[in-house]
Amino acid sequence: MGALVKLFGIGKSLIRLRPFMRGGRYLYGSVILTATVAAVLEAAALGLLGGVVLVILKAGAIGGKLRWIERWSGPTDSFNGLAFLAAVALAAMIAKNGALYVSSRLGTILKRRVAVNLRESLFSHLLRAPLRVFEERKAGEISSAVFNDTQRALTALETAVLATQRGSMALAYVGVLFFVSWPLALVAILLTVGLIAPVVRVHRRISELGAANLREFRRLIADLTESLAGVRVTRAANAQEQQLKRVGIQSRTQAEADERYARLAGLLQPLLEVLAGAAVLAILLAASRLTDQGLLEPDQLLTFGLVLMRLLPIINQLNNYQVALLYHGASLSSLQSWFALPTYPERPFGQRTFEGLRKGLRFESVGLTYETGRAALNDVSFEVPAGQMVALVGASGSGKSTAAALLLRLRAPTAGHILIDGVDHWEFTAESWHHRVAIVEQDAFLFNDTVAANITYGAPDATPEDVADALRAAHLTDVILSLPQGLDTPVGERGVSLSGGQRQRLAIARALVRRPEVLVLDEATSALDTVSERHIQQALEAARRDRTVLVIAHRLSTIRSADSIVVMDDGRVVEHGSWDELVGRDGAFARLVRSNATPSGTDSDFSVPASQQNTKG
């Protein structure tokens, strides 16, 4: 009963995933129909062959329920009638194999369509998942869902299709058995149901092993992905053996789960053969009693036996399919959980077209509280006038990058609004807003593609002139000319073939190629050396011309020329003003300036009045 409940749950999961596993209901129906036709044709061929054998053995002409054949074949005990009967049987076998081939081809097409649709649907759903999904889960776990879970789900679907195909054939055979001799068919059905009981417990255990194997495989993929991503750290720490041991333990655990499944699945085959043998012997005994009582004629018995011999392998196949479904069923539940994730944007975008910033943007009592209840921003209010540069400063974790994420609509605020010329920025369409707002982050992520592909990422319509202008503004033209293939040079995984400063300038070019009106610089120079920072500063100075710029700064020297500075602490705005105003107040910003100053106190960018230095000692 437990296995049946599990199979029923797997069927419901397949139905729920149907919108993402599109393959064509008519195609699926055609697979079942052609398989059923093949079974009926084979049963007819077997019946005819049985009649041929009986006539050849001089056991008498066809009688009983099969006597109607003689109405159009003539007397079957004549050579011509026998030859005609054999020819019809051969035609039925040819037609059966043709129908089975068509069913197989249609099944292959169905599987291909479903495979493409399922992977594309899952990838599309993940691309639209909230950022917290990627922050809370390992990259390997997500990769495992896209590749392993979908592959196992496809295996489950293919198995379900085959099971339905073979099941329709089995039903056709059972129908023929009841037509030939319903008492003997009823005995066979009752015996089959009774003998299946010992297999149920094995099925339940296989279902449990399938779920455990999926968990272990996901952990293994996550560990492997993390290990390869951190290979530089591993080598620098000479921790190869430690990492190998960690992954090795997980690999052996997953292999042991596979072995337990194989051992249990291997037990089913001999068990089923013994049970099938017992069922056949019992059916033969029942047939002998029916024959003695005149309820079963020789031609019926022979036809029944031939059809039953074709039915038994199909029953064995159906059991194997059941085992496979129970084993792979956990992947269907896993995919359901991924598809159940909320999609971005959780708050719908509006239909307004963002045509440019005229007056300025304003954070108005903006707050953000995570699902855990932790507040990241609380009542944040400040203004960025059009054409000006405003800096956000504060200690790590003060909410600077979170504010930038809200401006970029990577997250939705849980309180307040970000107003663009008085209009909530969520009212703008995604295309018009993100085309005019760009970001350069501290960790410039580059795709494993060419320089040109990375620059035009998100701007496929950029012209060569747009690219050239962006390269000049990012002070990257000379670098591109020095590369072996110029713009067609591959940058490697995450831009590994470029230096840190070059990657950062490439990210600036990628932002500028769209000619954005609002530019967000999220600690764009904090991870660079002094020389690289100077190149970046020159690029940023060019980038900020005629643009509204929001700078998130760790190195305060990068914001000395900002029009105004917003100081944040613990998700709140604690100070707001120009550099000189904030230093003069001797508050939070002045303390940040002193903590960033060089020991010799010679850096003029961080100068603080002597009286204030003495006051704070």
For every residue of 360-389, DSSP letters joined together read EEEEEEEEEE-TTS-EEEEEEEEEEETT-E
Residue type, 573: V
Over residues 359-370, mean pLDDT: 91
How many percent of the chain have pLDDT more than 90? 7
Name the average pLDDT for the chain.
Answer: 76
Where does the pLDDT of residue 42 fall: very low under 50, low under 70, confident under 90, or very high at 90 and above?
confident
CA distances from 28 to 22, 32, 36, 157, 162 (A): 10, 7, 13, 11, 11
* Under 8 Å between Cβ of 290 and 251: no
Instruction: Name the phi and psi angles at 580, rounded to 5.
Output: -65, -40
Lookup: tokens for 567: 């100081």
As a whole number of angstroms, the distance between CA 391 and CA 556 comes to 9
The position carrying tokens 């029944």 is 304
For residue 59, is pLDDT > 60? no
Which of 21-35, 60-74, 142-156 is the least confident region?
Answer: 60-74
Alpha-helix residue ranges (DSSP H) falling in 293-342: 298-339
Structure confidence by residue, pLDDT tens digits, 97-131: 888 888 888 878 887 888 788 888 888 888 877 77
pLDDT at res. 428:
92
Helix/strand/coil for 574: strand
pLDDT at res. 9:
59
Q: Which helix (H) or strand (E) holds 218?
A: helix 182-229
For residue 84, is pLDDT > 70? yes
Query: In terms of residues, how long is the chain?
Result: 617
Where does the pLDDT of residue 80 fall: very low under 50, low under 70, confident under 90, or very high at 90 and above?
low
pLDDT at res. 536:
66
Q: Which helix (H) or strand (E) holds 575?
A: strand 572-577
Structure confidence by residue, pLDDT tens digits, 281-310: 777 777 777 777 777 776 677 777 777 777
Burial 392-416 (b: 16+ CB within 10 A, else e): bbbbeebbbbbbbbbbbbebebeeb
pLDDT at res. 604:
34
Q: Which helix (H) or strand (E) holds 270?
A: helix 240-292
Where does the pLDDT of residue 383 fall: very low under 50, low under 70, confident under 90, or very high at 90 and above?
very high
As a whole number of angstroms, the distance between CA 320 and CA 313 comes to 11
Where does the pLDDT of residue 172 fall: very low under 50, low under 70, confident under 90, or very high at 90 and above?
confident
Over residues 149-176, mean pLDDT: 78
Residue type, 143: S
How many percent of the chain have pLDDT more than 70? 77
Over residues 503-513, mean pLDDT: 85
pLDDT at res. 602:
34
Lookup: tokens for 224: 């492997």
Instruction: Spell out the residues 6+ positions from residue 582 whose beta carbon is closer than 8 angstroms to its own.
Output: 565, 567, 575, 589, 590
- Return the bridge partners of 391, or none: 551, 565
Give the number of other CB atoms < 10 A from CB of residue 574: 14
Q: Which of 558, 563, 600 is nearest to 582 (CA)?
A: 563
Instruction: Spell out the residues 6+ positions from residue 72 whose beta carbon is closer than 8 angstroms to its own.
Output: none
Alpha-helix residue ranges (DSSP H) falling in 128-181: 131-136, 139-144, 150-180
Give 596-611 as a DSSP string.
HS-TT---GGG---HH
As a whole number of angstroms, the distance between CA 575 and CA 296 comes to 99
Lookup: tokens for 22: 């599109």
Instruction: Spell out the residues 6+ positions from residue 518 whose beta carbon is closer than 8 angstroms to its own.
Output: 357, 361, 407, 436, 437, 438, 547, 548, 549, 550
* Under 8 Å between Cβ of 480 and 487: yes
Q: Which domains does the chain have, with CATH numbers?
A: 24-339 (1.20.1560.10), 360-577 (3.40.50.300)
Over residues 243-272, mean pLDDT: 74
Handedness of CA 343, 349, 354, 357 (dihedral sign): negative
As a whole number of angstroms, the distance between CA 353 and CA 294 comes to 87
pLDDT at res. 186:
84
Q: Which of 485, 529, 533 is nearest to 508 (CA)?
A: 533
pTM above 0.85, yes or no: no
For residue 149, is pLDDT > 50? yes
pLDDT at res. 299:
66
SS (H, E, C) 446-497: CCCCEHHHHHCCCCCCCCHHHHHHHHHHCCCHHHHHHCCCHHHCECCHHHCC
Q: Which of 530, 582, 583 is nearest to 558 (CA)?
A: 530
pLDDT at res. 364:
93
Structure confidence by residue, pLDDT tens digits, 424-462: 999 999 888 888 888 888 777 888 888 888 888 888 788
* Under 8 Å between Cβ of 570 and 379: no
pLDDT at res. 615:
36
Q: Which of 340, 344, 341, 338 is nearest to 148 (CA)?
A: 338
For residue 546, is pLDDT > 60? yes
The position carrying tokens 């052996």 is 252
As a whole number of angstroms, the distance between CA 480 and CA 474 comes to 11
Handedness of CA 286, 288, 294, 297 (dihedral sign): positive
For residue 366, is pLDDT > 90? yes
Q: DSSP label at 425?
A: G
> Which of 281-285, 337-341, 455-459, 547-551 has the largest mean confidence?
547-551
The position carrying tokens 């050239």 is 468
Where does the pLDDT of residue 540 fall: very low under 50, low under 70, confident under 90, or very high at 90 and above?
low
> Which of 4-8, 76-80, 607-611 has the largest mean confidence?
76-80
For residue 497, is pLDDT > 70? yes
Alpha-helix residue ranges (DSSP H) falling in 513-578: 530-543
Strand order in the sheet with 360-369: 375-385, 360-369, 415-420, 423-424
